Structure formats: C-alpha cells, structure tokens
Amino acid sequence: MNQGRTFFRIIMLIIGSTIIALLIGCKKNNKDPHTIELIPSFEEGFRLTGYDSRIKENHDIGRLDYGKKSEITDWRIGQWGCINNLLNATHTKRGNTDIYFDGAKTLEIDNDTGGFVLGIDGSKDFIGDRTEGQEWPHFILEVMPFRNPVCVKDINFLEFYLEFELTKEVNKTTNFNPDLHTALFIWYITLNDYGPDGRTRDYFWFGLPIYDYRHDFSPFFAQQDSGKEDRTDKFIVNLAGDTFLSDIVGLNIPQYMHFDAYEALEEAYNLAVKRGFLKGTKFENMCIGSMYIGWELPGSFDVSMSVYNISIKTGIK
C-alpha cells in the first residue's frame, strides 16, 4: 500500500473518530440518562486464569500486579491453552503505560487513555503445528460476568465501537492448513438466560471477528462450540466481517469500527433456536451476561493488536 493511501486512511480515521465521538458521546463523560456504558475501567485490576477452563481452580489463579487489586474485579485475563504465565511476568513502565511480558505474551495498559495492547508470540506459547482436536492459546480480556447484566427487553440499541491497529502479523506455522490454523482477534458477548436465583440457565456466544489471518473479511459462522476438548458446547454466531467493518484490517493501518448489533442479536438468537439450542427461552428475557476481546491462535502465529479506544453503549434511543 502506498504512503499516500495510508496517510489518507489515517486522516479518515481521525475524522471518523471525531464525528462518532460527537454522535455517541465520550465514554468517560457520558451524561445521557438513557445510555449505559458497559465497558468498565481497569482501575480495580485483573484476575488471571490458568490454562484449562474445565478445571474450576484455573478460573482464578491470582492477580496481576496492577491497579487497586480489589477483591472483586470486573476484568479477567484469559490465558487458556497457553504455556507461559502472566503471573510470572516482568513489569516495566513507559511513561504512564504499564507493560507486562511473560516471555510470549505482552500486555500494555495506557493509564491516560484506557487503551491497551495484546501481543502474543504463538511460536513461544504453542508447541508445533496444531493438530485436529488440540487446544489453542487464548490471550483475551474478559468481563466475566457483568456486575449488572442488561436485558434486551430494556434496550433498543447496542453500539460496539473500537479504534485499533494490527501491529504484528507473522505466520510461523510449518505446514499451514487453513482448516486447522489461523490467528483470530475477536470480540464476543454472551446472551444469557437467567433463572429466578440469578444463575445462568443457558446462553449463546455472539461474536464480531475483527481479524482472521485467512480472510480479508471473516465469513459468517454459526455452529456449536467445538474443535477442542476444552469447549463450552454452546451455540456460536459470528457475523461476517464486512457486516461491521468498512475496510480490510491491514498491518500498521489505524482504523475503527462502529456497529449497532441489536437487530443482529435477535437474528442470531432465532438461528440458535432454529438449530435446537436455547430451549425454553425467550429473546426478550435474554441478558448481556459477559464479554471478551482478544486473540485466539489455532496456529503458530506471532501477532499484536493495539486498541486505542473501546466502548459498548446501550440503552433507549
């Protein structure tokens, strides 16, 4: 891509970000009583997971040395399927940015903007080429669960906003097979059906695949969670990338996405029901229970994504 086109896209990103900020309001200074910001701040710190989600003790193995380290935290860092551990990370500072590196994974948190970097060298956190059925590394930021789940009957919009830049993309898979190997940067929420006791009775995954090494735009995907022993068996709907992205995600090109997913949520729910999932539930009773964003590496890839701004706004227009 020539420099002129790159410069033009950067200028368009700045202009687009400014316009959208005026339209949807600043995340940290939102005063619209009809709008809720779902993304919490990082100030209370992060829990850390272990490597296998099937083991309950792995869901919380300790705290990252960051923030207030409150007993109850909104955020959890998922390390499912990894070898290296951020619990043992080296911590450095660059200005007001905290940097953690465990030999394979890099987490950077910009305390001035709330932005972050998720980088993972899969070649150091994965052994060889993935085989069918084998688990794969996840390096994700999770809100599991939202403290105050928002139910779809109480909202009529759900706006995802992301400013981001792919800054590293190296395929180190020896025998690359696109049916088995890729690098995915994906943004998920779950829609949960809660019982009278507040416990989840059922749920499904709703995903926005921001980046997929195999495709310019990730294709539509809808099926039961599978492909590895460490799985949820719940229904997954990933929208086609060109549904919510205006351009192909390219290396070292800042860009943004802004997408109201409310109508797509209902369509995804109806498809899940049609496929035999979510029996005994109703769409109006489903609630946004959790989310995660980050890397899944069913292949040996060294990758990094910078996120400059992230927001999920909802409410009544």
* Domain count within the chain: 1
Q: Supply the CATH number for residue 299's domain.
A: 2.60.120
Residues 159 and 34 sit within 8 Å (Cβ to Cβ): no
0.85 cut: is pTM over it? yes
Smallest Cα–Cα separation from 184: which of 215, 209, 167?
209
Smallest Cα–Cα separation from 221: which of 241, 205, 237?
237
Smallest Cα–Cα separation from 243: which of 293, 295, 289, 206?
206
Residues 287 and 151 sit within 8 Å (Cβ to Cβ): yes
Helix-, strand-, coil-residue percentages of the chain, each rounded to 5 = 15, 40, 45
Residues 137 and 297 sit within 8 Å (Cβ to Cβ): yes
Element (H, E) at 306: strand 301-315
Q: What is the DSSP letter of 40?
A: P
Structural domain boundaries enclosing 132: 3-315
The mean per-residue pLDDT over the stretch 173-199 comes to 95
Residues 114 and 83 sit within 8 Å (Cβ to Cβ): no
Amino acid in position 225: D
Q: How many angstroms separate the CA atoms of 114 and 37, rounded?
A: 14
Mean residue pLDDT of the chain comes to: 89
pLDDT attached to residue 11: 52
pLDDT at residue 25 tops 60: no
Residues belonging to the chain: 317
pLDDT attached to residue 46: 96
154's tokens: 């109480």
For 219-238, what is each residue's pLDDT tens digit? 999 999 876 666 788 999 99
Q: How many CB atoms lie within 10 A of CB 285?
A: 13
For 74-131, what is each residue's pLDDT tens digit? 999 999 999 999 999 999 999 999 999 999 999 999 999 999 999 999 999 998 899 9
Cα dihedral 248, 259, 220, 107 in deg (nearest 10): 70
pLDDT attached to residue 69: 82
